[in-house]
Structure 1
């Protein structure tokens, strides 16, 4: 999801469609909004969402429905021709979507077992797709979560082959996002599988961001010589790289704080010892936090100086301007207009976003958001 993007022409700042004061509260940030226990030590938000939008940065300027009738679209990535492939979590289907809204089901992925938050989740298209016709998926199987590769020759979806297995599965906290980084390696988010101590176990695959080769091996330069790239995550679901190659990740908190993290190799992001800002040696604090009621984040995309974060329970699109390795004031758009937002992609030319919802079988949509 790091597709190469052209810089867009920036116009005068746009009035905020929705401005919100950060709220605290005891609602859980699992995607089904059900309680999961008492929160650990937490911290205050790193910024208010109340200021005027920043000038001279691309912002959302309008939203329109591109395609309707979906069933829980989850992962997505761009093909070289500017169309996209999507997964559907519960149907196990891979679906092709063109910029004019034409939708074609390519087929189903074998060995997928849906249950709770599990199923067919992330999708990443090989950087060399034009030659190798390969795509990668993250899915729940009978006994684990796994990463597998397939081929699509334009007609047939086949060649299914698991490349990394044994990631613990659960009804909740499966992670599941896949994306190729600028370095050509495959990154994956994994949740703690409802077993929080796993996030602090450096040898476990759960509660982590993983970095692997296309063969499923630990990528060269990984901090521990394993697939683990960073640890201490509860349920990260968004991955995006900015123009300087910095990796950002959005993460579902428990009862109080959701997070946006700047990911560094080998760093520990605190879960379950901390939710939100920790302020303790050995743990890396988030760059931004939100109450679970206003976020419960999923997908993340970067375009022209800003991150865009899809919110499930918050039912809004967060625009987060970047100032180098720091963040400006987040702004919320389209609150309650299209329901729960799952995945956001920045178009390859950087002029728009494709935002998919997560509202239920047959009732989901993909929207195009024009950037100005």
Structure 2
């Protein structure tokens, strides 16, 4: 037998050194800043581009790359601008399902500029409040953000805010691009269509119940308890009195309004909404803050066909309640106990009179007396009449948190 003169100790040392180098190499390629887990779910568009070229292409801002799987988490949120899902994946992201897959969908419309008067800190509070709602109630909830007409010189929602990971909360961002915004009528010249955006959220919502709200709000203990108690019913529209937020306290306590009998929340009986000023059921009283909280079963929302889109950017929430209560005779429950608290800010919308368009001459008495109706045409609301795939509607679904 040939002897090489190498001891067993030397061989073992060499093996150990080799193993260390192998582990270091694997660690490097898994943590390389130029490496992105998203590249593993990207397929080149009908070419044989290598993964290395694809990474460099992403970094250089090359053409859109097609993905065929939604990421569970995001390592680099900025890459979303360079990714395009397959049509099948896009349809899956938008699909509401024949049956609800969540108990609640929270719908909000926003864009990343100063359209609402320095809203960024309020929006982060709103997102965190949705996280706390899901964690406390242990109910399946989705936060559905409709990002409307995002400014080209601003970062996108997903790349601006913190989305905390939860086993109970899912995030979906549906982006309505400038091509669709420019295609739609825009008599007031507004950069954002709040109620058309909320209709988009209603159309695609996966929750059994859908609440349309704004980024100025955080959820109260009353709402936590009502969700935990599953107190809401189908074929009813829910409104609330809105309490101001309690500042200088932790977010979870900022809308803790009263002691709760947890799991046994009781809602008031429906009211008879009317146009008589002296009554507690006066429409402008009970629907005054409907833009910040209107909630119904997802099927109930579709009976009046959402908010009327031929109207304007202001008062459409009140007109919706008029139409639902009087034209379609849907019961309205008004809670004097707040479901959400409002973060104070200057009322920018009220000052933009040029954008208060077609609905300014609506006579609520005529709706109440059933002399006139104001309803969207069937299949012509919530972008149903638009080729949203070819016009660039985007959808991203994720569970929060970042990949590390």
Give the structure with the higher percent strand.
1
Which of the pair has more CA radius of gyration?
2
Same fold judged by TM-score > 0.5?
A: no
